[in-house]
Chain A
């Protein structure tokens, strides 16, 4: 049995050492949130503040989102598997130089889907959430409920095949077991349905979209100075919640993630309407892997799939009279 109880202390120690030795000006990590089931990103500049740092099953945010355009010199970042993969892609896209970061790599056992956990107590106020080895115990006024951790993971965590950081400067804890997700893939399952049903499902999902762009803002890769939805010259799509505009927004945002999305699930978690955004993204993921043998965030050398080509790339879909 691996011991994960020391992970938060190890993170604090590593952060303290980095700050003390002046190796970094800032450490980005997680601290306890103000509500149960929530850890929140925090920015530590002073070595006396490292005690705020924590690590638990609620550290769901992708911290790679915070690295771009920071004025600080060197930055320490607490990063789990998907954060590191996002960092790798950002380095390749020349958004953050590798030299600017010190990666404190933490193996990840999956993060808890707080919204689903909250539904379990049927509207009662949760006062405290205690994490044990394999359970989350929710406590409130006059009730206590234990949830099985594995059942309440985010969907992206459930199917995660790279929980360990692929690149790091300071390793924390022992790597967790990496296993490919069992059963048929989400994409294959969805594609086994008829086209009309798929269209209906996605139309129903995005009919709830309020165009708040939280998905875009949470995504580590949506860093364009001007997003195509904000552009007015040309104005690609309308800004209202028209069904056609909304569908095109989601299709194109997904398309822009081709070969970059690391399936951290940040977009889906950020969505206030609970839209199944990953349905679009996972398709591109699986296509890029199948057709071009590329998996985002796994290597610093391999060229991103849409920046390169092979002469014999598949082209079976072309009209050949």
Chain B
């Protein structure tokens, strides 16, 4: 069991190579402070993020997932983030329909020049997940224990 008091959320952040990852990099080189709760995975495009990657993350015990890509209209591959937006809209809505807390899975747009915005997005994402407490619903436990 995780001790709730000393618990810090662990969040997987899927960042697109062309915008959000560069935005995170800019936040880093500019020494902008943001919570250290995210674990970054660089992906070619937010459209690359298969819903299964998000669910597999939750299954392996992360407390939240953040997906961030280029702003609409700025996609390196022209339409990847537009496609992703529809996909994420439906996924998020389906997860909430099934009773998974709103805020476990979050999305945002951050461009390569928005180091400050990236820090703000992470702050907000971490706060949202912290308010929910540790994720339990999709975490895989061995059959014998439950």
A residues with CB within 8 A of B? 187, 190-191, 195-202, 228, 236-238, 240-245, 247-248, 251-252, 254-255, 258, 280, 283-284, 287-288, 291-292, 305-306, 309, 311, 313-315, 317-321
Contact = CB atoms under 8 A, between A and B. Distances in A.
A258 B97 CA distance: 14
Contacts of B66: 319
The 10 closest A-B pairs by CB, nearest first: A199-B99, A321-B120, A309-B82, A198-B99, A319-B108, A244-B140, A283-B97, A195-B99, A248-B55, A236-B52
Contact of A202 (B83, B99, B141): B99
A11 to B, nearest CB: 38
B41 interface: no
B42 interface: no
Given A288-B90, A318-B108, 14 more contacts: A196-B99, A241-B143, A242-B141, A244-B138, A251-B55, A252-B52, A254-B94, A255-B51, A287-B89, A287-B93, A309-B86, A319-B66, A319-B107, A321-B117
B39 interface: no
B130 interface: no
A284 B85 CA distance: 15
Contacts of B106: 319
A317 B82 contact: no
A309 B52 CA distance: 21
Interface stretch (B2-10, B22-30, B121-129): B121-129
B98 A251 contact: yes
Contacts of B117: 321
B48 interface: no
Interface string B88-114: 111111111111111000111100000
Interface centre among B52, B88, B91, B95 (most CB of A within 10 A): B52
B138 A247 contact: yes
Contact of A280 (B94, B138, B143): B94
Nearest to B72: A311
B140 A245 contact: yes
Interface in B29-81: 51-52, 55-56, 59, 66, 72-73, 79
A284 B94 contact: yes
Chain A: interface secondary structure?
Answer: helix
Nearest to B120: A321
Nearest to B97: A283
Contacts of A197: 99
Contacts of B120: 321
Contacts of B124: 319, 321
B45 to A, nearest CB: 14
B49 to A, nearest CB: 13
| Interface size class, chain B | 35 or more
Interface of B: 51-52, 55-56, 59, 66, 72-73, 79, 82-83, 85-102, 106-109, 117, 120-121, 123-125, 137-143, 146
Contacts of A317: 88-89, 92, 107
A190 B96 CA distance: 12
A148 to B, nearest CB: 32
A187 B140 CA distance: 28
B107 A318 contact: yes
B140 to A, nearest CB: 4
Given A238-B140, A242-B140, A244-B140, A199 B94 contact: no
B77 to A, nearest CB: 13
Interface centre among A201, A228, A236, A305 (most CB of B within 10 A): A236
Contact of A248 (B73, B86, B138): B138
Nearest to B52: A236
A197 B85 CA distance: 28
Nearest to A306: B86
Contact of A255 (B94, B96, B125, B146): B94
A201 B108 CA distance: 31
Contacts of B137: 199
A240 B121 CA distance: 38
Given A202-B99, A309-B86, A318-B108, A244 B94 contact: no
Contact of A313 (B86, B95, B141): B86
Contacts of B138: 244, 247-248
A258 to B, nearest CB: 5
